[in-house]
């Protein structure tokens, strides 16, 4: 064998060795990637568990309970205010002052009966005339005195 063939065989051996080394490194890389992916998923699971624990711990705090009670109270009161305003718009002659009386007034009023005049305030003398103005007039359809009706029971020409 001459030097050229010997060099070529050496180069082929070295190439084969390098290819095996590349395959081995690729295999190790795949294993490391899988392990890193597993660790990332485990980290996400740990983070989610910590988040759940923190939320549960916050919900158990007295401060969170106070926040919920304050929010519920304010929402209830705002709902009552909104409802009173809506009632005032719809029933303008309704006296809602009785709903806003304080405890002293309520104790003094326990023995007396509430009269219709207490609830409905006579803001105007002639409410019936005003109510009549608000009602739209009935629709009137004028037909000729002798309308002819065909077989379809509709006036001819209709």
pLDDT of 28-86, one tens digit each?
A: 999 999 999 999 999 999 999 999 999 999 889 999 899 999 999 999 989 888 888 88
Q: In the prediction, which pLDDT does 145 show? A: 59
State how far the Cα of 16 lies from the Cα of 10, in Å rounded to an integer: 10
Task: Tell me what pLDDT residue 149 has.
Answer: 55
Report the candidate in 153, 152, 155, 154 with the shortest Cα–Cα distance to residue 144: 155
Q: What is the pLDDT of residue 16?
A: 95
Phi then psi for residue 153, to 5 deg, are: 65, 20
Mean pLDDT confidence for 6-19: 93
Six-digit token string for 124:
């105007």
Contact 105, 112 (CB under 8 A): no
Q: What pLDDT, on the 0 to 100 scale, is given for residue 2?
A: 84
pTM reported for the whole predicted model: 0.35
Q: pLDDT at position 127, please?
A: 47
Top-confidence residue, 128 or 107: 107
Mean per-residue pLDDT over the chain, rounded: 77
């Amino acid at each position: 064998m001459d030097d050229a063939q010997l060099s070529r065989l050496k180069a082929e051996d070295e190439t084969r060795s390098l290819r095996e080394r590349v395959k081995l490194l690729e295999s190790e890389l795949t294993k490391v990637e899988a392990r890193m992916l597993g660790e990332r998923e485990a980290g996400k699971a740990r983070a989610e568990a910590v988040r759940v624990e923190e939320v549960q711990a916050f919900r158990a705090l007295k401060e969170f309970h106070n926040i919920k009670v304050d929010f519920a109270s304010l929402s209830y009161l705002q709902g009552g205010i909104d409802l009173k305003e809506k009632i005032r718009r719809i029933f303008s002659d309704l006296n809602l002052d009785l709903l806003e009386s304080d405890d002293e007034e309520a104790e003094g009023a326990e023995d007396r009966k509430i009269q219709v005049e207490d609830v409905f305030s006579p803001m105007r003398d002639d409410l019936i005339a005003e109510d009549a103005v608000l009602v739209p007039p009935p629709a009137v359809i004028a037909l000729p005195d002798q309308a002819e009706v065909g077989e379809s029971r509709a006036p001819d020409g209709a």
